[in-house]
Amino acid sequence: MTFDIGARFLERSRHYLHVEYPAKIRLALLTVPADRLWWRPNERANSVGNLVLHLSGNVRQWIVSGVGGAPDVRFRDGEFAARDGADHATLLATLQQACDNVDMVLARLTTNSLSESRLIQGRETTVFAAIYHVVEHFSGHTGQIIHIAKWLTPGAVQFYDDTDGLARPTFLEDGRQDVD
């Protein structure tokens, strides 16, 4: 039995970007009151709405376009400039569509694809580095969304059952989302 680290990397990246992080964002976002989706604690901070738009734009630009070759149609400044807009359902649908598109691109890649060069946001990088960047970036903003939701709705966001000291995911079932 051989262990293909590249295949494992792609598998795990797909899990984070298509299953785990979107599930956590969905659960956290749904606890945020509608009048707080676009709320900012100060002018230099981002709202939950801004963060969802930003994640959607980022994964489309870096993976769907940069790695997958689709046209790059991102308006990054607009992701941060928005002060109001989409509701819960629209934000979640936008994020899910972006994550679905990312998963389709990642599903087509092979271990050999990881060493291929790409030019993304004016930076020379490899497919491996682009995916690694996106997973890390997505994780950071997922944490911000969760933090805001927990701050706005204390006790409403919980992802694990800690019975017997074991953190069992409550948002996953057999590797799939369990959030509907």
Specify the 3-state DSSP secondary structure of 81: helix
Handedness of CA 21, 54, 45, 125 (dihedral sign): positive
State the Cα–Cα distance between residues 9 and 132, nearest whole angstrom.
9
Residue with tokens 């899990």: 15
Contact present, 105 and 63 (Cβ < 8 Å): yes
State the Cα–Cα distance between residues 70 and 134, nearest whole angstrom.
17
* Dihedral-angle region of residue 122 (phi above 0 means left; psi in -120 to 50 means alpha; beta otherwise): left
Q: Where are the domains of the chain?
A: 5-177
Provide the CATH number for the domain formed by 5-177 in this structure. Answer: 1.20.120.450
Q: What is the pLDDT of residue 180?
A: 30
Q: What is the pLDDT of residue 178?
A: 38
How does pLDDT run across 153-176, given as a tens digit for each residue? 998 988 888 888 888 888 875 444
How does pLDDT run across 109-160, given as a tens digit for each residue? 999 999 999 999 999 999 999 999 999 999 999 999 999 999 999 989 888 8
